[in-house]
Structure 1
Amino acid sequence: MTAKFILPRLRNGFAAATAALLVGAIAMPHAVVAPAMAQETQQKPAIHPQGPASVADLAEGLLGAVVNISTSQTVKGGEGPNAVPMPQLPEGSPFQDFFDDFFKNRRGDKGGGGDEGEGGGGDARPQKVQSLGSGFIVDADKGIIVTNNHVIADADEIIVNFSDGTKLKATLVGTDTKTDIAVLKVDPKGKKLTAVKFGDSNKMRIGDWVMAVGNPFGLGGTVTIGIVSARNRDINSGPYDDFIQTDAAINRGNSGGPLFNMEGEVVGINTAIISPSGGSIGIGFSIPSELAAGVVQQLAEYGETRRGWLGVRIQPVTDEIAESLGMKATQGALVAGVIKGGPVDNGTIQPGDVITKFDGKDVHEMRDLPRVVAESPVGKDVDVVLVRKGVEQTVKVKLGRLEDGEKLAKGEEAKKTPDKAVTTTSVLGMTIGDLDDGARSKFGIGAEVAGVVITEVSPNSPAADRGIAPGEVITEIAQEQVSSPKDVTDKIKALKEQGRKNALLMLASKTGELRFVTVRID
């Protein structure tokens, strides 16, 4: 069975379906004392115990700050996430009465039939869908609670259950879908609250002990222990993936719960697991506190995030691209385009630049840049180290706000012009032509896009191998602009004479989205 990522929120009947609890004991290895050898002259190093002797005192002081979160959502009958459709049965089936009795309770039917359409449509009546998750208190005076966004998504009612049995209704302060974090608030006058604080996840090393507390399968106040298995995991769940991987047992219902270090500080928010069966197999993922703390602070203060924005489109630096740009190492984020009206639309950063350091932080690969930019304050002046045409230089940039940039990007629209014939030539398995009005109309290319249009791509050609498609536009070759098919052929010829194995092409999509591609010249 293929393994899959699961966001461990517990829905509907998982708690009721848990019929037995498995209690295991972990035996600590006994120290083995060997007899001293008379001829030994050097003392052997002491054998240290493996793992903490007990986390009972630590857990006892933290359980009060960890909460169980139950939500309910009203949906139309038969539309819940676990709804079962009415089966199609042969006329006169002996099971007809049984299924009619079962399904009439989820539908608006007064009697039992399914005569109003296939599957028994009827007027569906509202039903309550319930979910369970975890969370933790970070501000006892204000009643601020942190959890996962997917735990409370689309909820009509959110109830926070405390370890002593107290229940309080919570209101939603703010959510961030990019990091899957939500902030809730309860009335602190209704109960004396205990809070925990965020620790520094950057100090956590692979092999450090961690403790997870949560509400797996509805079993509130469950404590599990393990180690940090890996750092900086990217599971493709969002643009800022930087998860801590742990083997501390995380199951359905643990979502939103804290991952503690041995000092009782929150170093992660338990969010996802890999599991072929839905249960823990020792591969869980937590949002690091380095990323979560800033998001929580912004949501609690503003009800929304306020992230830094550089205003560039980026792509990975491959070995071929690094070689084409004359770089000594394959690193950084390649700027494929600059967003019009963005913070660097003034030419400070240009397409073809490779950003290797941002505000003193190294950019080892493309995915590092969006995260460090987003974590920076809006309006901050930062130094950006980049490589431009093989030369390293530092530029200063004033950051914009990401949320404003997203609105700006959505407002961009492509324009079309009347039809006209296209003159073409061939190179590197591509048929290319002038980007005139006819080509723009044929391929729907926006008026702001300039260069040489690709009209055809031969199968099994170097261009096809790189995923180049008709309708894309060559804007640069080897970081030099091209405006005609002759410019393209002349530049490829010059690269051949220089002994280059690859040509670095900047391509624009129909809407102006830019990307760099290396194509084999031979």
Structure 2
Amino acid sequence: MPNTGKFFSDLETGMKTIGISRQAMVAALVGVAMVGSFSLAPQVFSPEAGAQPIQIEAPLGAPLSFADLIEQVEPAVVSVNVTTEREVGRLADMQQFFEQFRGMPGLDEFMEQRRQEEEEEPETQEGRSLGSGFFISKNGYIVTNNHVVDGATAIQVVLQDGRELDAELVGKDAQTDLAVLRVTEEGEYPFVNFGDSHTMRKGDWVVALGNPFGLGGTATAGILSADGREIGPDSPYTDFLQIDASINRGNSGGPTFDLNGNVIGVNTAIFSPTGGSVGIGFAIPAELADEVTKALIKDGKVSRGWLGVAIQDLTEDMAEAQGIKDAKGAIIADVTSGSPAEKGGLERGDIILSVNGDKVTDATSTTRLVGKLIANTANRFEIIRGGKKQTINVTVGERPSSPNANITPSSSSPSDDAVEDGQVVSEVGGTFEQMDDELRERLGLKAGENGLVITKVSKDGVLEEAGFQAGMVILEVNNKPATSVDALRKAISDAKRANRTKVLVAVRIGQITNYRTIDLSDAE
């Protein structure tokens, strides 16, 4: 049998002889990731007396040309060149190459030997990325995206006149994908002002400038396509502007202007199945960018308000179960022990209607309003509790880096602990027994808290239709503790007498609580 381990070693040696590196063979197949961190002491931003941002008088109607606008604002726009460094695995880079030899004798031994070598002598690789940015002050502060500079070991900006200047990171905020830089060379720089995206209407002209694909000094024009866009769970505090002015890779961090030369958005993402522009781009609204960048310049970070609650959208079914006509709001599903919410008096089952007078429409809008609050300040929360409106003052804390770290899912499925003992409630198609101390402790509940364990769910019953399973624990029924099976039956009877077809239930699954409704329309 041939020595196949030697074959792979010879193959590797031959590749080196003809000047082909492992990285070169797979460079077209893998991308360079940016990791690590880089930070400097934050500097306080003080607007210079008499300094004026670039301002333009907008033409009436559709402009014949955007040239005058672009000519005046372009000096404030820069290209951002970033150097990063990361550990790389040579074996991972060669994985696809060796895949064609999978199954040949000796391959596994060869790969294992190389894997051990990598653990002993890890390699690092330098990476580079390109983005855009713009000056917001005369003394050299620049706004860009967090993802442009994340993991940077060196940052350089290129001005319109071709000058290349070193820049330092002042602060960054991953939640809004914003970062602030400052050029290290003293001088006076042309800068632009943040405008107000709320003054823009769908269909208004916008102009985007930036550094797509490293080309630099590129301008595109289009209209505001939409506002208030949500583009993913990683951006819970941002309602994005959608624009159809072409933006591509490298435009990240660049400005989108209105016709007055005000920045109404910071370009941050595109929607594309191909990786290139298909006419759908997203920008961070100017008023949010202005607020975040001021905090970054002042403190080097953004301190967000934190309540310490788990919330859900208040659905129409949940509102109906409580006799509430307006279904706009967020219901508190759980309150973290020792949190600002608990100290302020908020409770599970409270429905949040507004924060400091600003109406909430769902869980997302509530999260954003709370996130905008200044940590350690008192704020007014209008709520509904037990069918009655009231106002509670809560001093919000500073959001921790991992606010849900103490919440862990159950290690077993609900049915693992289920037994079929207990009392049958035929109206909902389920069998229940009271929760014991051992289960209460395992679910992370307070000592003495009441609950009914579902031990059996009847086929085609209303519990099954609502998604309940054996092993789940019902904590509340229509905002009252589920102290017993009789209490459950009474809540069902009360709902029927009030001509309501829905019952609101707080259910514990592992260490997570959420609200669901049981539809009594088809109950016996």
CA displacement at 1:409 relative to structure 2: 4.8
2:216 to 220, 231, 250: 220
Q: Provide the C-alpha distance between the structure 2 equivalents of 1:252 and 1:315, rounded to a whole number of angstroms.
A: 35
Write out per-residue CA displacement over residues 444-503 of structure 1, whole angstroms, 9 at most, x where no aligned residue. 322425422234445554334433344432111111111223322332233334432111
Q: Which residue of 1 aligns with 2:269?
A: 272
Q: Provide the C-alpha distance between the structure 1 equivalents of 2:261 and 2:90, rounded to a whole number of angstroms.
A: 42
Q: Which residue of 1 aligns with 2:43?
A: none
Distance change (3 Å), C-alpha of 1:159 and 1:516: same
- Normalised by the length of structure 2, the TM-score is 0.77
CA displacement at 1:60 relative to structure 2: 1.3
CA displacement at 1:510 relative to structure 2: 2.9
The correspondence of residues 303-342 of structure 1 with structure 2, limited to 5 A, is 303-342=300-339
Distance change (3 Å), C-alpha of 1:447 and 1:70: same
The correspondence of residues 69-108 of structure 1 with structure 2, limited to 5 A, is 69-77=80-88, 85-89=96-100
Write out per-residue CA displacement over residues 292-323 of structure 1, whole angstroms, 9 at most, x where no aligned residue. 22211111211111112233321001110111
Q: Provide the C-alpha distance between the structure 1 equivalents of 2:418 and 2:507, rounded to a whole number of angstroms.
A: 22
Greater Cα shift, 367-376 or 392-401:
392-401
Q: Provide the C-alpha distance between the structure 1 equivalents of 2:91 and 2:292, rounded to a whole number of angstroms.
A: 31
Contact 2:308 2:403 in 1 (8 A): no
Aligned: 1:350 with 2:344: no
Contact 2:88 2:123 in 1 (8 A): yes
Q: Which residue of 2 aligns with 1:289?
A: 286
Q: Which residue of 2 aligns with 1:169?
A: 166
Aligned: 1:56 with 2:41: no
Q: For 2:244, give the aligned amino acid.
A: D
Contact 1:178 1:240 in 2 (8 A): yes
Contact 1:477 1:506 in 2 (8 A): yes
Distance change (3 Å), C-alpha of 1:450 and 1:170: farther
The correspondence of residues 477-488 of structure 1 with structure 2, limited to 5 A, is 477-488=477-488
Contact 1:173 1:185 in 2 (8 A): yes
2:137 to 139, 145, 161: 139
Q: Which residue of 2 aligns with 1:35?
A: none
Q: Provide the C-alpha distance between the structure 1 equivalents of 2:162 and 2:100, rounded to a whole number of angstroms.
A: 47
Q: Which residue of 1 aligns with 2:236?
A: 239
CA displacement at 1:518 relative to structure 2: 0.7
Q: Provide the C-alpha distance between the structure 2 equivalents of 1:272 and 1:133, rounded to a whole number of angstroms.
A: 12
Q: Provide the C-alpha distance between the structure 2 equivalents of 1:115 and 1:129, rounded to a whole number of angstroms.
A: 31
Q: Provide the C-alpha distance between the structure 2 equivalents of 1:463 and 1:324, rounded to a whole number of angstroms.
A: 16
- SS of corresponding position for 1:334: strand
Q: Which residue of 2 aligns with 1:126?
A: 124
- SS of corresponding position for 1:487: helix
Contact 1:322 1:329 in 2 (8 A): yes
Write out per-residue CA displacement over residues 68-120 of structure 1, whole angstroms, 9 at most, x where no aligned residue. 112222234556999873244459x9xxxxxxxxxxxxxxxxxxx99942897
- SS of corresponding position for 2:148: helix
Q: Provide the C-alpha distance between the structure 1 equivalents of 2:403 and 2:420, rounded to a whole number of angstroms.
A: 33
Q: Provide the C-alpha distance between the structure 1 equivalents of 2:459 and 2:259, rounded to a whole number of angstroms.
A: 58
Q: For 2:352, give the aligned amino acid.
A: I
Distance change (3 Å), C-alpha of 1:377 and 1:420: closer
Q: Provide the C-alpha distance between the structure 2 equivalents of 1:119 and 1:49, rounded to a whole number of angstroms.
A: 71
Q: Which residue of 1 aligns with 2:431?
A: 431
- SS of corresponding position for 1:117: helix
Contact 1:420 1:439 in 2 (8 A): no
Aligned: 1:210 with 2:196: no
Aligned: 1:367 with 2:378: no
Q: Provide the C-alpha distance between the structure 1 equivalents of 2:100 and 2:245, rounded to a whole number of angstroms.
A: 46
Contact 2:311 2:330 in 1 (8 A): yes
- Identity level (%): 38
CA displacement at 1:219 relative to structure 2: 1.1
Q: Provide the C-alpha distance between the structure 2 equivalents of 1:423 and 1:380, rounded to a whole number of angstroms.
A: 50
Q: Which residue of 2 aligns with 1:97?
A: none
Contact 1:291 1:375 in 2 (8 A): no
Distance change (3 Å), C-alpha of 1:333 and 1:467: same
- Normalised by the length of structure 1, the TM-score is 0.77
Number of aligned residue pairs: 450
- SS of corresponding position for 1:345: helix
Q: Provide the C-alpha distance between the structure 1 equivalents of 2:243 and 2:327, rounded to a whole number of angstroms.
A: 30
- SS of corresponding position for 2:208: strand
2:444 to 435, 443, 446: 446
Distance change (3 Å), C-alpha of 1:118 and 1:379: closer
Contact 2:344 2:394 in 1 (8 A): no
CA displacement at 1:284 relative to structure 2: 0.8
* Gap regions ≥5 residues in structure 2: 1-30, 33-58, 412-416
Q: Provide the C-alpha distance between the structure 2 equivalents of 1:344 and 1:215, rounded to a whole number of angstroms.
A: 45
Q: For 1:474, give the aligned amino acid.
A: I
The correspondence of residues 447-486 of structure 1 with structure 2, limited to 5 A, is 447-448=445-446, 450-458=450-458, 460-486=460-486
Q: Which residue of 2 aligns with 1:65?
A: 76
Q: Provide the C-alpha distance between the structure 2 equivalents of 1:336 and 1:214, rounded to a whole number of angstroms.
A: 44
- SS of corresponding position for 1:335: strand
Q: Which residue of 2 aligns with 1:495?
A: 495
CA displacement at 1:211 relative to structure 2: 1.1
CA displacement at 1:343 relative to structure 2: 2.5
CA displacement at 1:349 relative to structure 2: 2.7
Distance change (3 Å), C-alpha of 1:205 and 1:80: farther
Distance change (3 Å), C-alpha of 1:89 and 1:385: closer
- SS of corresponding position for 2:468: coil
CA displacement at 1:421 relative to structure 2: 8.3
Contact 1:420 1:437 in 2 (8 A): no
- SS of corresponding position for 1:184: strand
Contact 1:259 1:270 in 2 (8 A): yes
Q: Provide the C-alpha distance between the structure 1 equivalents of 2:92 and 2:384, rounded to a whole number of angstroms.
A: 50
Q: Provide the C-alpha distance between the structure 2 equivalents of 1:439 and 1:490, rounded to a whole number of angstroms.
A: 25
- SS of corresponding position for 2:71: helix
Q: Provide the C-alpha distance between the structure 1 equivalents of 2:396 and 2:101, rounded to a whole number of angstroms.
A: 66
Q: Provide the C-alpha distance between the structure 2 equivalents of 1:397 and 1:233, rounded to a whole number of angstroms.
A: 29
Contact 2:421 2:455 in 1 (8 A): no
CA displacement at 1:347 relative to structure 2: 5.8
Distance change (3 Å), C-alpha of 1:520 and 1:379: same
Q: For 1:410, give the aligned amino acid.
A: A
